[in-house]
Amino acid sequence: MGPSDSSHYCSKKFYITTPIYYVNAKPHIGSLYSTVLADVGARWNKLRGAQTLFLTGLDEHGQKVADAATKAGRLPKEHVDALAPEFTKVWQEFDCAYDTFIRTTDDYHVKAVQTWLQQLVDRGDVYKSSYVGWYCVGEEAFITEKDLIIDPNKKEPICAFCGRQTRKLEEEGYFFRLSAYQDRLLEFYKTHDDFIVPKERLKEVVSFVESGLRDLSISRSTLSWGIPFPTDTKHVTYVWADALLNYISAIGYGDSAREKEFAYYWPADVQVMGKDIVRFHAVYWLAFLMASDFALPKQLMVHGWLTLGGEKISKSLGNVIDPTDLYAQYGSDVVRYYLVRYMAITQDSPFSIEDMENRATTDLANDLGNLVSRLSALVLKYIPDGVVQTPQAFEESELALQKECHDMLSEASALMDELYYARAYARIWKFVQQVNSYIHAQQPWKIVKTDMVKFSQIMSALVHALHTIAIVCEPIIPQSSAHILATIGKEYAPACNKDYITICREPWNDTFVVRACEPLFKKYDIQK
Ligand code: MSP
């Protein structure tokens, strides 16, 4: 199911994107967070049988990147070429299995942006004018007066969003008629109240648009690091107008040979981003798409910030956590699990190593890891070839476990589809605990001495339950999921229209060949 192989398009598709990251410094834990969330969404939909396209990439133009290159003593292109592999390395370490990786300096993207701008000019949505304003390089945006903080000790006002000093810019340039889209945008929000997840964040967007939209400057003449404006090459394209287009250029917009691919994947099903850039996506991006008569993305999944000591983790604050260090110490699954399960998208979340070690010990090593090793040891001790057959019938206690499993599948699937991954995995862990309670209640190590029939029933019920757990955990802890499946002799092979959730709901009548397994997770010394 290659992303550009249009001859094999599946009836169900799922297109998910991350923001493209500024290449001013190496990726940090905040960048990893957006990417892991999108990876979980992509894996979940693959598991449901959709043809999934997961796009990520790099935002390589603009003042911020140009300034970082100057500071590093490199040309901008040298700078981004040197840093790009740092991003792909981290995504690989953390099993972020993107299908397409875009860099905004790629030729096909440059061409797509120019084609799009030319069309806007032709349609009269872009005009030339001049502008004076305060530009914030951190935000890569002009800041309106109400969002400027005047500091009597500083020459330039401060940006209220990120606290950095703005620069005064006075230039002639090209403007997009954003103001013309105000009513259509408001109408869209009104009729699509689930467009932003979590819903509460839509309110901020609505009040921003209601307060009045001004036309948007989409070119710069004082900067040379950018995509040349097609009708006037003394100007380069404003970095956000260039960057947002990546979501469609990556799937073939602007290339006549890829029309089918574009028609198949667009609109995006879910676009993941942090709350700091929701305005760019929920206002500018939608207006750009409206201007081109393209469908609008179905949902924006907007997460809060990861914080350290109460402050946003950010490159400019210098409090970054290097994902590669985390990977060296904890591997991929522990970090992914902690980010997705405990950093809820609905709020800012403190990232704490101690808390992560705690959760890894209790949830992963104790709840899940012990369950797997205990089950494998029990089976191999009493069923030497490890073959766990389906019993003639299950008793009430096993049927009750099966019902808990089905309830979990319904509730967790609904939460996953609503994009509340943290809550979905909390629900899945409730089931892991129910399975542990079932073992404690049944005491198979005692039953085996007197009643081999009941023992087989218990083992079969447990392996079926574990199979389902391994499947639903694939998106969040793919490596451990693969180990569990190998331990119970199963493979995971997602395919078009093969819905693993439906498969997990089938009657428990499978045979499993259980193997010995190494401990899946490490325990951390919590006292330390
Ligand atoms: N280049 C733009 C996005 C363009 S998309 C067309 C950009 N890049 S960024 O590198 O600054 O940020 C990318 C993503 O990382 C954003 O979703 C942002 O919210 C996220 N994070 C950066 N720091 C973060 C935290 N401390 N916590 C959580 N996510 C944060 O914006």
Quote the pLDDT of residue 6.
Answer: 57
Sheet containing 311-312, strands listed edge to edge, beginning at the edge strand earlier in sequence: 311-312, 306-308, 349-350
Measured in Å, residue 407 CA sits from the centre of ligand 1 at: 36
In this structure, the answer to whether residues 223 and 149 fall within a common structural domain is yes
Examine the pLDDT at 83 and tell me if it is beyond 90.
yes
**How does residue 3 score in pLDDT terms, banded at 50, 70 and 90?**
very low
Residue 2 in domain: no
Residue that finishes a domain, picked among 350, 378, 393 = 350
Question: In this structure, what CATH number is given to the domain that contains residue 147?
Answer: 3.40.50.620
In this structure, the answer to whether residues 130 and 244 fall within a common structural domain is yes
Residue 29 in domain: yes
**Bridge partners, 21 (sequence order):** 58
Measured in Å, residue 118 CA sits from the centre of ligand 1 at: 29
Which residue has the least CA distance to atom 18 on ligand 1? 274
Residue that finishes a domain, picked among 304, 319, 350 = 350
The ligand 1 site (C-beta within 6 Å) comprises 19-22, 30-31, 33-34, 59, 243-244, 246, 273-274, 276-277, 305-306, 312-314
Q: Which residue from 16, 18, 22 has its CB within 8 A of the most atoms of ligand 1, so it is best to mutate?
A: 22
Measured in Å, residue 145 CA sits from the centre of ligand 1 at: 24
> What residues have CB less than 8 Å from 484, skipping those under 6 apart?
372, 466, 469, 470, 473, 517, 520
Which residue has the least CA distance to atom 26 on ligand 1? 313
> What residues have CB less than 8 Å from 452, skipping those under 6 apart?
none
Quote the CA–CA distance of 318 and 315 in Å, as a whole number. 5
Measured in Å, residue 21 CA sits from the centre of ligand 1 at: 6
Quote the CA–CA distance of 422 and 341 in Å, as a whole number. 4
Nearest to 434 by CA among 406, 458, 404, 455: 404
Examine the pLDDT at 1 and tell me if it is beyond 50.
no
Q: Which residue from 103, 275, 276, 319 has its CB within 8 A of the most atoms of ligand 1, so it is best to mutate?
A: 276
Residue 6 in domain: no
DSSP labels, 129-160: EEEEEEEETTTTEEE-GGGEE--TTSSSPEET
With contact defined as beta carbons under 8 Å apart, do 204 and 151 qualify? no
Measured in Å, residue 12 CA sits from the centre of ligand 1 at: 29
Q: How many CB atoms lie within 10 A of CB 70?
A: 13
Which residue has the least CA distance to atom 25 on ligand 1? 30
Measured in Å, residue 327 CA sits from the centre of ligand 1 at: 20
Which residue has the least CA distance to atom 30 on ligand 1? 30
Instruction: Read off φ and ψ for residue 237, nearest 5 degrees.
Output: -75, 140
> What residues have CB less than 8 Å from 24, skipping those under 6 apart?
64, 65, 67, 68, 315
| pLDDT tens, residue by residue, 377-422 | 999 999 989 999 999 999 999 999 999 999 999 999 999 999 999 9
Examine the pLDDT at 309 and tell me if it is beyond 90.
no
Residue that finishes a domain, picked among 310, 331, 350 = 350
Average pLDDT of the chain, as a whole number: 95
Of ligand 1's listed atoms, the one at least distance from the Cα of 272 is: 17
Residue 509 in domain: yes
Measured in Å, residue 29 CA sits from the centre of ligand 1 at: 10
In this structure, the answer to whether residues 68 and 97 fall within a common structural domain is yes
Which residue has the least CA distance to atom 13 on ligand 1? 21
Of ligand 1's listed atoms, the one at least distance from the Cα of 247 is: 6
Measured in Å, residue 32 CA sits from the centre of ligand 1 at: 9
Residue 3 in domain: no
Measured in Å, residue 489 CA sits from the centre of ligand 1 at: 40
| pLDDT tens, residue by residue, 148-192 | 998 888 888 999 888 888 988 888 999 999 999 999 999 999 999
Measured in Å, residue 214 CA sits from the centre of ligand 1 at: 24
Quote the pLDDT of residue 277.
Answer: 97
**How does residue 5 score in pLDDT terms, banded at 50, 70 and 90?**
low
| pLDDT tens, residue by residue, 502-519 | 999 999 999 999 999 999
Which residue has the least CA distance to atom 29 on ligand 1? 30
In this structure, the answer to whether residues 323 and 438 fall within a common structural domain is no
Pick 335 or 528 by higher pLDDT. 335
Number of domains into which the chain is organized: 2
Which residue has the least CA distance to atom 19 on ligand 1? 274
In this structure, the answer to whether residues 81 and 200 fall within a common structural domain is yes
**Bridge partners, 110 (sequence order):** none
Pick 115 or 308 by higher pLDDT. 115
| pLDDT tens, residue by residue, 448-494 | 999 999 999 999 999 999 999 999 999 999 999 999 999 999 999 99
Please give the residue range of the domain that contains residue 411: 353-513
Mean pLDDT of 301-309: 94
Assign 202 to helix, strand or coil. helix
Which of 142-156, 233-247, 326-340, 417-431 has the lowest average pLDDT? 142-156
In this structure, the answer to whether residues 378 and 258 fall within a common structural domain is no
Quote the pLDDT of residue 527.
Answer: 62
Measured in Å, residue 480 CA sits from the centre of ligand 1 at: 28
Q: Which residue from 67, 249, 275, 305 has its CB within 8 A of the most atoms of ligand 1, so it is best to mutate?
A: 305
Residue 292 in domain: yes
Which residue has the least CA distance to atom 21 on ligand 1? 30
Residue 518 in domain: no
In this structure, the answer to whether residues 425 and 360 fall within a common structural domain is yes
Examine the pLDDT at 315 and tell me if it is beyond 80.
no
Measured in Å, residue 358 CA sits from the centre of ligand 1 at: 27
Residue 193 in domain: yes
In this structure, the answer to whether residues 122 and 217 fall within a common structural domain is yes
Mean pLDDT of 45-70: 97
Examine the pLDDT at 39 and tell me if it is beyond 90.
yes
| Bridge pairing between strands 21-22 and 51-59 | parallel
Of ligand 1's listed atoms, the one at least distance from the Cα of 59 is: 1
Measured in Å, residue 19 CA sits from the centre of ligand 1 at: 7
- Kindly state the tokens that stand for 492: 């995971």
- Tell me what percent of the residues of the chain surpass a pLDDT of 90: 88
Which residue has the least CA distance to atom 24 on ligand 1? 30
Measured in Å, residue 325 CA sits from the centre of ligand 1 at: 20
Quote the pLDDT of residue 146.
Answer: 85
| pLDDT tens, residue by residue, 185-213 | 999 999 999 999 999 999 999 999 999 99
In this structure, the answer to whether residues 198 and 260 fall within a common structural domain is yes
Question: In this structure, what CATH number is given to the domain that contains residue 371?
Answer: 1.10.730.10
Which residue has the least CA distance to atom 5 on ligand 1? 19
Quote the CA–CA distance of 72 and 74 in Å, as a whole number. 6
- Tell me what percent of the residues of the chain surpass a pLDDT of 70: 98
In this structure, the answer to whether residues 334 and 418 fall within a common structural domain is no
Quote the pLDDT of residue 440.
Answer: 97
In this structure, the answer to whether residues 358 and 321 fall within a common structural domain is no
Of ligand 1's listed atoms, the one at least distance from the Cα of 315 is: 23
In this structure, the answer to whether residues 387 and 475 fall within a common structural domain is yes
